[in-house]
Amino acid sequence: MCEPSNESMALRNCFPLLLILLPVCPALAQEGPPDHPRVEIAPSHELRFGPNVLQVDFAAGDLDLPADAILAHIRAAASAVATYYGRLPVARARLLLVPVAGRSGIMQGTTWPGMNGFQGFTRIRIGQHTTTSELGEDWTTTHELVHMAFPTLPDEQHWMEEGLATYVEPIARVATGELEARQVWRDMVYGMRKGEPAEGDLGLDRTHTWGRTYWGGALFCLVADVQIRRETQDRKGLQDALRAIVAQGGTINHEWTLDQALAIGDRATGTHVLTQMYAEWKDKPVQVDLMKLWEELGIRWTAGGPIEFVASAPLARIRDSIAGERSHAQPAAGVSGTR
Ligand SMILES: [Zn+2]
């Protein structure tokens, strides 16, 4: 479902060539990852989240870091997702780590729908010389696991799959204390403008550029989140819509239309925000006044300086509800074990 690179969070660079290859992913799912059909697997590790399990496997290859350090990182990523959604999205998920000789860092991730009894399967390529510091900077693992928490959509709506993962990943990591709220809003300030429609844009369903796919989709999510919270006096947010979609079976191993998913999301918040926004954004270039939005949310910055929060801003409470400096949530019940 995704092929992000290991660029910094703010860049979230993706290779356009890989986006072109994306439509073949569901077909590949029938046969397993294309270039690792018969990898040698070390004994599996199971990370448990209530009744749901993430099985972590290491393909053959050398890694400088001990397995425990890498497993702790995977556990933190999965805990962020489980905390945001209130559960690990699928009953049985599998994550395969594929060491890459001579390289360093989390290099790339891809997630497929169900395979061999698992409803979701993520493959992460990890460099042999990856350090704990590089693991600390990795957003790819969380991003990939978020993909399991939404149905597989037609190609025209791929922007929603990527936009959602781009938007939810840092917010989920704030909730478990992995990221600071200021860092998340800084990345949004610098990232969201890459999602704005350029000249000639035909709307999200018909403009499949990298910027519109990842950040255009994330912008849709941010605007929807703020609007749901405005209309419900901050009692409901996008998170409630997304949890309802997962609860009603909207996970990666099911193929839905986007209308189906958004209707469930709207029912959960008692609004029509998602369906109305989609009707407007799908085939037209909708401009968002980002500067006005940041001002209303109470987000200020100077060139190269840190983000400052304005407590008296009209939407300051909504900003904090999305990603704030309040006390962090307790990670969802995550008990790890090795078999
Ligand atoms: Zn992705």
Quickly state the pLDDT bin for 28 (edges 50, 70, 90). Answer: very low
CA 23–ligand 1 middle distance (angstroms):
13
Backbone angle region of 174, left / alpha / beta, with phi > 0 → left and psi within -120 to 50 → alpha: alpha
d(CA 163, CA 206): 15
CA 316 to centroid of ligand 1, rounded, Å? 29
- Asked if residue 331 has pLDDT above 50, the reply is no
Residue 330 pLDDT exceeds 80: no
The Cα–Cα gap between 199 and 30 comes to 39
Looking at residue 22, what is its pLDDT?
Answer: 31
Alpha carbon of 88 to ligand 1 centroid (Å)? 17
The pLDDT tens digits of the residues spanning 155-196 come to: 999 999 999 999 999 999 999 999 999 999 999 999 999 999
> How many angstroms does the Cα of residue 310 sit away from the middle of ligand 1?
32
State both tokens at 316.
Answer: 């300051």
Number of Cβ within 10 Å of residue 5's Cβ equals 16
Give the Å distance between the CA of 141 and the centre of ligand 1. 10
Query: What's the gap in Å between 198 CA and the centre of ligand 1?
Result: 22
3-state secondary structure of 18: helix
Whether the pLDDT of residue 12 is over 80: the answer is no
For residue 2, the model assigns a pLDDT of 52
Average confidence score pLDDT of the chain: 87
Span 211-216, mean pLDDT?
Answer: 98
- In b/e form, how buried is each residue of 251-278, taking b as 16+ CB within 10 angstroms? bbbbebebebbbebbbebbebebbeebb
Confidence label for 40 from pLDDT (cuts 50, 70 and 90): low
**Backbone CA torsion sign across 124, 147, 135, 93:** negative
pLDDT at 273: 98
Q: What is the mean pLDDT of residues 227-250?
A: 98
Q: How confident is the model at residue 335 (pLDDT cuts 50, 70, 90)?
A: very low
Distance 67 CA to ligand 1 centre (A): 25
CA atoms within 13 A on the CB side of 156: 12
- Using CA atoms, how far apart are residues 264 and 283, in angstroms rounded to an integer? 22
Q: How far is the CA of 147 from the centre of ligand 1 (A)?
A: 7
Ion ligand 1 contact residues with beta carbon within 5 A? 2, 162, 165
Q: Which tokens hold the place of 75?
A: 């556990």
What's the pTM value of the predicted model, to 2 decimals? 0.87
Instruction: Quick: pLDDT tens for 42-78.
Output: 679 999 999 999 999 999 999 999 999 999 999 999 9
3 CA from centroid of ligand 1 (Å): 6
- pLDDT score at 302: 86
User: Residue 72 — φ and ψ, nearest 5°?
Assistant: -65, -40
Question: How many CB atoms are closer than 10 A to CB 193?
Answer: 14
Token duo for residue 208: 């499949």
- Residue 113: CA count within 13 A, CB half-sphere: 20
